[in-house]
Structure 1
Amino acid sequence: MFTGIITGQGRVAQCQRKGGDLALKIHAESLDMHDVALGDSIATNGVCLTVTRLEGSSYWADVSAETLAHTTLSQWQVGQQVNLEKALQPTSRLGGHLVSGHVDATGEVVAIWPDARSIRYRIKVLPELMRYIALKGSICVDGASLTVTGLDADEFELSIVPHTAQETIMASYQVGTQVNIEVDQIARYLERLIAPQNVQSEPKVSSLTETFLAEHGFMGRRR
């Protein structure tokens, strides 16, 4: 689990294609790596990656075909900057919102404009994803926990203050930039809990009958 509060930035050092998936090396120059061990999770542009090898201030991770299909990771190039966050500890402050690192889909930056000292971004997503996005609610974009400031049929807006722009890769976004989107987990689970069950399995008929028990010596035979 993560908070969506970016604690460092890194860059893609190597991308090695391996039998349909990917081995990725991230140089985490600004992330405190002293307590990172093999098997730990690091959110990399919002994608939960498991550390498979450590090399100084860099880490390696394997990326499955499933992750490549649903995130921007398949488009990453060597030298690209990424947002980083180590996994949440029980003693950590929950400054953002609970983030799993399991990306729902990608989105596209469609507009950018200044708003006093802040920067406004408009991001387009799949229409079916919009039902999980609420005005003033939380959303995770490339691993950063952000507040939704505007909504449309298939777009939402963000207002990014100077500190967030400085501490994340958002200042580098341009119109057309693809980003990883993770919606608020509460919205997903709430929908699942209250939605009618559209598919109901047929009740199973038990084969454990009195005749079966009698034939196998568990009770006297029926007369």
Structure 2
Amino acid sequence: MADGYRLYSAEGSGGVAVEAALTLIGAPFEVIEAVSFEDDAPPDGEAVAKVNPMRQVPALVLASGEVMTESAAILIRLGELHPRAGLAPGPDDPRRSAFLRWMAYVSSAIYAHYWLKDDPFRLVPDAGQHAAINQNIEDRIADCWRAMEAQTRPGRYILGDELTMLDLYVTVVSRFRPRRQRFGEAAPRLAEVARRVDSDPRLAALWAERYPFVDGWDRLPA
């Protein structure tokens, strides 16, 4: 799109956080479905390789043609490019340091584990070890959410009473396995924020289409 963004994303992926951000910003964008993280990924998963040789989503093509990858970096940059949307604290905002800290933390301490969790064969050829590896990863993810919970003081949202890219990021990543139940146990205050973002009417259609809940599977307990 010459006058907007082109986003390589996939249903149920971290790219949905970028879709949510662009929806709130109100910027025109085109989504190119590029499922590349499953063993039976369709051929269109190769589409993202044209812009990201790592074959990972999200990948965002800016109006200038420049390509950005890494969900946290994309969200931070979109916040800078669209300051009127109010989704990212500016350089002089006292929340800026915490914003950058926790965006990087979710990316490196939590999201990064899914490269191995999605396919343990990437590093461990012995399938007999995969169950233990999966359990250890899930335990580590829960510990990381617990640590973030202990070091934040959410209001309506994580950094206070205004929604930011960080809330969108946590809401989406917390839907990854081991799903919301364990996230809610490890980080109940963060879970309250995620529930609030889940119910934002501006995002209702997006969640239903791009990251739907399945009853009894992913929804936070009331």
Fold equivalence (TM over 0.5) = no
Task: Name the TM-score, length of structure 1 as normaliser.
Answer: 0.29
- In terms of fraction of residues, the more strand-rich structure is 1
Task: Name the TM-score, length of structure 2 as normaliser.
Answer: 0.29
